[in-house]
Amino acid sequence: MQKKIIKHIQHPKDLRNLDAESLNSVAQELREMIIEIVASKEGHLGASLGVVELTIALHYVFNTPNDLLIWDVGHQAYGHKILTGRKEKFETNRQLGGLSGFPKRSESTFDAFGTGHASTSISAALGMAIASQLKGLQKHHIAVIGDASIASGMAFEGLNHAGVTNANLLVILNDNAIGIDPSVGALKQYLTNVKKGKQKEDNIFEALNFEYSGPIDGHNLDALVLELERLKTIEGPKFLHVITTKGKGLKQAEEHQVTYHAPGKFNAKTGDLLPSKHIKEPDKFQDVFGKTLVELAEKNENIIGITPAMPTGSSIKFLMEAFPNRAFDVGIAEQHAVTLAAGMATQGLIPFCAIYSTFLQRAYDQVIHDVALQNLPVIFCLDRAGLVGQDGATHHGVFDIAYLRCVPNLIVVAPRNEIELRNIMYTAQMGLKNPIAIRYPRGRGTLLDWKKDFESIPIGKGVQLKTGKNTAVLSIGAMANNVHKAIKGLPIAHYDMRFVKPLDDALLNQIFEAYTTIITVENGTTVGGFGSAVLEFAAENGYTNKIKIKGVPDAFIEHGTTDELQQQLGLDVNGLREFFIEF
């Protein structure tokens, strides 16, 4: 279909010049554009397709950007970006130097708040609404939040506060019964009952002093516009319950919502995923973790799996299939996940708590207070550690080494490959008395044959991988692979230190006595990270060797493929080789 209307829409003011009857045509064209570009460029498809009508209605009714609109998480903001001056650049979405895959304040005045992590929209919008009151400004403040995100504790904290204010706040619940994986928990059942008309009394949102309306069909533009116009006239906190279908408008995305959340490349006309190249590749680290966890659980009945809303992404799904009573998806609730694991550990269970590195940041107090302070042997499995690619600054797992290694009792380890990951998981469940954080990267490993017999790894012990003359490189985690290739043919020694905490003091003493130059390499921050730990060791022991740190600099790293970002930071093979040769 030739796009006849959307090509004339550069900003929402152009949308508002249209008659209401034209909006459905805009919706169809907007869907086609999202599908066409995401099919070739990849990205978060299902969420954005599901809110096309809602996006149009919001910008049609409200005077954005003066009225402030916040998209919780931001997976669903592609239509919003296209309608707010970024249509011509949308093909650069998530590409190096292009548009961010999430709302970003520095990118557009229409992005009222930067998002990427769940459940922040209500608190942010309430803060803006209170600020408008204090300044005497007449504005609307809208937070669009999904049914998975609203179940988070932070969302309820925001609702709880908003309900005792008279702030001009509109919370819109985009209820499609799924986040990345299907939503879970008692609130999901409550919302299901509301949709079925079984929960007419004791409305939880009315109990929190919100003016509640809905549920309404989120794909009926006429109904959306009419109700939003009505809500504009009501003072105080308001709550609109909207029912949508994730992936709306693309059959495969509607039928396979988990896969089409971020499907990779697909045929824009048929919706079919593009076939693989039939080249045997190593498994993803997450799948090595998930399959190994099942192996261990088969022999150790005390093993439990926990994940906050990431059973597919973390591959806890394998344990759920094998032992459904021993695997728990607790929803978007990282704090609860950590303390739940702590409670289980007090009773002799062995919890493997699988959380993306960037999301464990949300449970930092629980890691310290509920786990480490009590020295409970919780096993944290930190997926997506290091640079994660096109999701960008909100999702890079580059801070975990720095924020974890300062915590007493906590062991921090980074296996360099799949076999090491298996072995440290095996070691951790064999009566370890301390909590441990195992960090591993996003994506595929390096080994086709990783399923070897388990071997115990001595805690706090590194290994030498290559001998050398004057210079030694100390790597941590999967960066060992790049280092291995970078020093090929060079007289440089290579050590995989394995553990950031405890450091292998005995091995470090040998290294500092044998080499004049020490170079550390990590896929975490250079400030407070592994390199900093080595510097501290040198200072404490009076070593004066030349020490250079290579890692992620003191800056938020934007989006691009992992290979592009490594090259940009000099962490790729060629960049590391050039860096090593300097010394």
Q: What is the pLDDT of residue 186?
A: 87
Q: Mean pLDDT across the stretch 187-200? A: 82
Q: What is the pLDDT of residue 181?
A: 80
Q: What is the pLDDT of residue 582?
A: 86
DSSP E strands, 23-140 = 68-71
Same CATH topology for 6-261 and 285-439? Answer: yes
> Top-level CATH class of 6-261?
alpha beta
Asked if residues 547 and 518 have their Cβ atoms less than 8 Å apart, the reply is yes
Query: Is 334 labeled as catalytic in the residue annotation?
Result: yes
CA-based max dimension of the chain: 78
pLDDT tens digits along 512-523: 999 999 999 999
Q: What is the pLDDT of residue 3?
A: 59
pLDDT tens digits along 362-372: 999 999 999 99
pLDDT tens digits along 40-52: 889 899 899 999 9
Return the minimum-mean-pLDDT range out of 138-152, 183-197, 437-451, 529-543. Answer: 183-197
Q: Interhelix angle for 23-41 vs 52-61, to 10°?
A: 130
pLDDT tens digits along 551-581: 999 999 999 999 999 999 999 999 999 999 9
Residue 142 has pLDDT above 50, yes or no: yes
Confidence of residue 1 (pLDDT cuts 50, 70, 90): very low
pLDDT tens digits along 61-110: 999 999 999 999 999 999 999 999 999 999 999 999 999 999 999 999 99
- For residue 393, CA distances in Å to 110, 397, 402, 526 come to 19, 9, 17, 16
Answer whether CATH 1.10.3470.10 is correct for domain 285-439: no
Q: What is the pLDDT of residue 404?
A: 98
Q: Mean pLDDT across the stretch 184-191? A: 87
> What is the value of pTM for the model shown?
0.93
Domain ranges of the chain: 6-261, 285-439, 463-581
- CA distance linking residue 56 with residue 250, whole number of Å: 18
Q: 159 is written with which tokens?
A: 């609702």
Q: What is the pLDDT of residue 121?
A: 97
Instruction: Check 29, 227, 334, 420 and give the catalytic one.
Output: 334
Maximum mean pLDDT: which of 30-44, 169-183, 293-307: 293-307
- Which of 104, 98, 106, 39 minimizes the C-alpha distance to 77? 104
Q: What is the pLDDT of residue 200?
A: 61
The pair phi, psi for residue 389, each rounded to 5°, is 100, -130
- CA distance linking residue 575 with residue 573, whole number of Å: 6
User: Which helix or strand (DSSP H or E) is residue 538 part of?
Assistant: helix 530-540
pLDDT tens digits along 74-87: 999 999 999 999 99
CATH T-level assignment (fold) for domain 463-581: Rossmann fold (3.40.50)
Instruction: Check 81, 94, 104, 362 and give the catalytic one.
Output: 362
Confidence of residue 274 (pLDDT cuts 50, 70, 90): confident
Q: What is the pLDDT of residue 245?
A: 93
Instruction: Check 31, 94, 104, 246 and give the catalytic one.
Output: 246
Average pLDDT, the chain: 94
Residue 124 has pLDDT above 50, yes or no: yes
Higher pLDDT, 510 or 269: 510
Query: Is 246 labeled as catalytic in the residue annotation?
Result: yes
